[in-house]
Amino acid sequence: MALKINKPGLSTSVQDLGRPGYFHLGIPIGGAMDRFAMRVANILVGNPEDAAGLEAVFMGPEIEFAKDCVVAVTGAEMPMTLDGEAKEGWSSFSVKAGQKLGFGFLKSGARIYIAVSGGIATEPDLGSRSTYPIGALGGIEGRTITEGDIIPVGNGDPSSAGQTVASRLRRGPGKPAALRVLPGLYWNRLTEAAQNGFFEDIWTVAPEADRMGYRFKGGRALEFVEREQPFGAGADPSNIVDGCYSYGSIQVPGGTEPIVLHRDAVSGGGYFTLGAIISADMDLIGQLQPNTSVKFVKVDMEQALNARNERRAMLRQIREELA
């Protein structure tokens, strides 16, 4: 079975839950920007949660199916039709060979996730089918999909059609989006006024927002505690000699515009990081459009772990309701 891509959309790629274990070699974990939506799409069509699907940004593709299957689309709100008939998101539906799935204009969010029963069956690289264009890994020849691509799909269970995830179990950013932050190793480099201001200000998503990272603007510039810069760090107080970046790290080059490092970000560099977005909220960043208002919220480790447990509980409830 295969999918034929008649129209690729703006930026559509094969993604799964990523390739952990290579970060120390400079290869990011990659995978779906909204892991929650990717997992749920797979649950809806009867796939393992780490199966590969398609991630489409801002504009959906047009897909022609070569065989009967079951499809689900989660994530952003983007109207879709199957041979002209409207279909609902966060639901699984049957598709017949020869039918075409298309999408309308984005209404909210930023990324949709398209799961097909059997999962995308492209050749994995380093244990993952996720597309990492900079390293030419995964996907279709290590790149995003283009018009005319034929994408292989495994054999799936057609009995999974007709299921829907209740609206109370769908995650999405609020208005303004609240992103919880755990202050980190270099937090003490900031003055107390700068620490407070970072959480008091309303920030907006800058146009520079992609799989490597999201830049934010509109808040006050950060002030640093005076110190003698170490050899090799340069004069800018936001510089360090070198440091490891965790997934979700917040770096602030020049102390002006924070950048949250996301799925395809590098593993280290010469900018201080004031902390990290907690893992439970990283999915929400993947659904933020440029110019969206954002509020950073300070939390401690206990709150971060509780949030992660709440997210896991929501996934567990979805599994149980769809079983």
Is residue 114 a contact partner of residue 63, using CB atoms and an 8 Å limit? Answer: yes
Q: Is the peptide bond before 237 cis (omega within 30 degrees of 0)?
A: no
Residue 309 has pLDDT above 80, yes or no: yes
- Give 107-174 as a 3 state SS string: CEEEEEEEEECCCECCCCECCECCCEHHHCECCECCECCCCCCEEEECCCCHHHCCCECCHHHCCCCC
Rounded to an integer, what distance in angstroms lies between the CA atom of residue 4 and that of residue 95?
A: 14
Residue 64 has pLDDT above 90, yes or no: yes
Which tokens hold the place of 51? 């199966």
CATH class of 177-312: mainly beta
Which amino acid is it at 117? S
Backbone angles phi, psi at 16, to 5 degrees: -130, -145
Lowest mean pLDDT across 94-98, 248-252, 267-271: 267-271
The pLDDT, as a whole number, for residue 221 is 93
pLDDT at residue 171 in the model: 87
Question: d(Cα 198, Cα 200) in Å, to the nearest integer?
Answer: 6
Tokens describing residue 135: 């390293």
pLDDT for 135 equals: 92
Q: What is the pLDDT of residue 276?
A: 97
Angle at alpha carbon of residue 37, lines to 149 and 321, rounded to 5°: 125
Is the predicted pLDDT of residue 288 greater than 90, yes or no?
yes
Query: Could you state, in order of their start, the residue ranges of all structural domains in the chain?
Result: 2-169, 177-312
Count of CB atoms within 10 A of residue 124's CB?
14
Task: Report pLDDT for 159.
Answer: 82
Query: 291: which residues sit within 8 A by CB, 6+ positions away?
Result: 204, 205
> What distance in Å separates the CA atoms of residue 94 and residue 96, rounded to the nearest whole number?
7
Nearest to 41 by CA among 17, 19, 64, 68: 17
Check residue 316 and give its pLDDT: 97
pLDDT for residue 250: 95
pLDDT: is 186 or 303 the higher one? 303
% of the chain beyond a pLDDT of 90: 83
Mean pLDDT over the full length of the chain: 94
pLDDT for 234 equals 77
The Cα 213–Cα 245 span in angstroms is: 12
Question: Does position 270 have pLDDT exceeding 90, yes or no?
Answer: no
Per residue in 241-260, pLDDT (tens digit) is 777 888 999 999 988 999 99
pLDDT in tens, 21-49: 998 888 999 999 999 999 999 999 999 99
Residues 6+ apart with CB under 8 A from 182: 275, 276, 278, 299, 300, 301, 304
pLDDT digits (tens, 9 = 90+) for 4-20: 999 999 999 999 999 99
pLDDT for 144 equals: 97
Q: What b-and-e string marks burial along 143-159, b requiring 16 or more CB atoms within 10 Å of the CB?
A: ebbeeebebebeebeee
The pLDDT tens digits for 185-219 are: 899 999 999 999 999 999 999 999 999 999 999 99
DSSP strand pairing (62-65 vs 100-103): antiparallel
Q: How do residues 153-189 score in pLDDT, each as one tens digit?
A: 999 888 889 999 999 999 889 889 999 999 998 999 9
DSSP states of 210-240 as a string? Answer: SSSEEEEESSPPP-B---PPPTTS-S-TTEE
Confidence (pLDDT) at 210: 94
pLDDT of residue 223: 92
pLDDT computed for residue 1 by the predictor:
67
pLDDT computed for residue 227 by the predictor: 80
pLDDT at 232: 72
